[in-house]
Chain A
Amino acid sequence: MSPVGPGNGPRIPESPLRLAAIAVGGSLGTVARYAIDRSVVPPPLGFPWATFTVNVAGSFVLGMIVTLVVERWPPTRFVRPFAAIGFCGGFTTFSTLAVEATQRVQHGRPGPAVVYVTASLVAGLLAATLGMTLARGRLLPVPRDRPVPDPDDLGSLSAAVPDEAAP
């Protein structure tokens, strides 16, 4: 996500349209998180399902969108600023996770805090991986050692080999 370019210095060369796409996406993502947060009211110091859900779902969607934009789709100008940096970035939140976990520790509930943080990390990392994998169309690869060729079409078999060999 973080843009790293050589020799451009810390100036901000972004177009107003790009910043506007981030702002609109961020606004929609934030209000979506707010709506989910309001609709899921847990018992005090119970498991924070709302934050957990938005963080895992947002990790999945961001992984998929960024991979599609970078690896699969033709160049786009506004999909990444709007959907990834704006919407998914605004939808998910790190600070609420940190404060919720800390409050549980401070109220003598370190166990639920550890469960919450660990579950968020594991599910979030898996969700991002799944989104990236789906975007690459590699969820169900043909087993390399057991190709299932159409016996009447050797052409498709030979055409499939280079893709299979890709890392």
Chain B
Amino acid sequence: MTVLGVMIAGACGAVLRYLVDHVVQRRAGSAFPVGTMVINLSGSFVLGVLTGSALHHGISVTWLTVVGTGLIGAYTTFSTFTFDSVRLAEADRWGLSLLNVAASIVLGLAAAAAGLALGSSA
């Protein structure tokens, strides 16, 4: 049953990522992949909250697996992040490429830490 839940959640996460990226990127209209960054930062925060809640408030492992591994794991993406960074560098936009890598990592870890703190306390 958990596998079925992960599959359904994964399908929802991938579609949600596509829709959020579509909306954010069209509003931004920029060469910078702000859509993927918004997705990865928001997902890191939510997974932090879920993980903190699982560690300190005992939400079930099945719930964490389906929503965390399935939905949020599929919603966020590493491959698009690396691809976009390489493509920016190829286009000689090294500043944007480095900004994408550095900001995603620093803010992603900060978002995860804030989520873990919130999930552990709330």
Contacts and interface: CB of A to CB of B under 8 A. Distances in A.
Interface of A: 1-6, 8-10, 12, 14, 19, 22-31, 33-34, 37, 55, 58-59, 61-63, 66, 81, 85-86, 88-99, 101-103, 105-106, 117, 120-121, 124-125, 127-129, 132
A4 B14 contact: no
Contacts of B70: 30, 34
Contact of A89 (B29, B79, B109, B116): B79
Given A4-B30, A34-B6, A92-B79, A85 B18 contact: yes
B36 A1 contact: yes
A101 B78 contact: no
Nearest to B48: A99
Contact of B112 (A86, A90, A101): A101
A95 B109 contact: no
User: Which range holds the interface residue count of chain B?
Assistant: 35 or more
B63 interface: no
A146 B2 CA distance: 59
Given A1-B84, A63-B82, A102-B116, A31 B10 contact: yes
